[in-house]
Amino acid sequence: MERSCERALELGLPAIAFTEHADWALVHNGQHSVDIDGYLDAVERCRARFKNLRIQTGVELGEPHWYPRETAEVLSAGPLDRVHGSIHCIRLDGGMLDASQFRSREGLDFPAAVREYFRETLAMVESGQPFETLAHLDYPKRYWREGLAPYREADYKEQIRAILSAAARTGRVLEVNTTRGSTLCPDIEVVRWWRELGGQAISFGSDAHQPDRVGAGFEVAAQMVESAGFKPAKDPTALWRR
């Protein structure tokens, strides 16, 4: 975290937000959920050390509608600046599978798994779980299986638009995630739909995970979001609105 703060200052960023993973669907080796008190202590240490940087707190709740008790517990630790909701996993054959594992699962009907991913995303948005921002809406496209027809929003249009409508209706913010500078997630077609369906606001995330990726891809993302009809805010940490 300290190296990420240093990197943010190097880049001239006015602020950084650490949206720590709060995952309870543990599907990767060594994966564990957030230690929220330890996390908040670490933020305080960074704030004490980097006085010229605004450091925002946050969590990315993974599948919060599957874990309402754990979600409430994490959120009760104190007010957080950013609360994201995201889907990484679908339920499959009595277990859970992260979309990053779709391509290596033998016999998996990949497009059907992607449809299940979007179905789960809609369920999360409609669940009433208290998250503000819908994170990396089309996450499975990051891990597309080679040899498959390329990902196209149009192939999942109905499901994506249903998610966006539900998110707009419930006052959510849509995140444009740059995947550490490699892929806009979602890209312009979805952001245009978001505006058309009544979406009010956009937030940006680099999903950096590593200090050298902080803010990666923000210039391209900002251009895309602006051309889709959202305007920059005066406060650089504020949401962009229509």
Nearer to Zn ion, 140 or 199 (CB): 140
H or E segment at 110?
helix 110-126
Question: Binding of Zn ion at residue 129 (CB under 5 A)?
Answer: no
| Pair of tokens at residue 56 | 């925002």
Q: Is 165 in the site for Zn ion (CB under 5 A)?
A: no
- Beta carbon nearer to Zn ion, 50 or 64: 64
Ranked by CB distance to Zn ion, the top (closest) residue is 86
**Residue numbers 86-125 binding Zn ion by CB under 5 A:** 86
Task: Label residue 78 left, alpha or beta by phi (over 0 means left) and psi (-120 to 50 means alpha).
Answer: left
CB atoms within 10 A of CB 171: 10
Residue with Cβ nearer Zn ion (121 or 165):
121
Number of residues that bind Zn ion (CB under 5 A): 1
Q: Which lies closer to Zn ion via its Cβ, residue 20 or residue 116?
A: 20
- Count of residues making up the chain: 242
Site for Zn ion, residues 68 to 87, rule: CB under 5 A: 86
Q: Does 206 bind Zn ion (CB under 5 A)?
A: no
Q: What gap in Å lies between CA 113 and CA 121, rounded to an integer?
A: 12
Nearest-approach distance from CB 51 to Zn ion, in angstroms: 30
Residue 177 binding Zn ion, by CB under 5 A: no
Half-sphere exposure of 166 (CA within 13 A, CB side): 20
Distance of CA 236 to the CA centre of its chain: 19
The nearest distance, CB 62 to Zn ion, in angstroms, is 7
Backbone angles phi, psi at 199, to 5 degrees: -60, 140
Binding site for Zn ion (CB under 5 A): 86
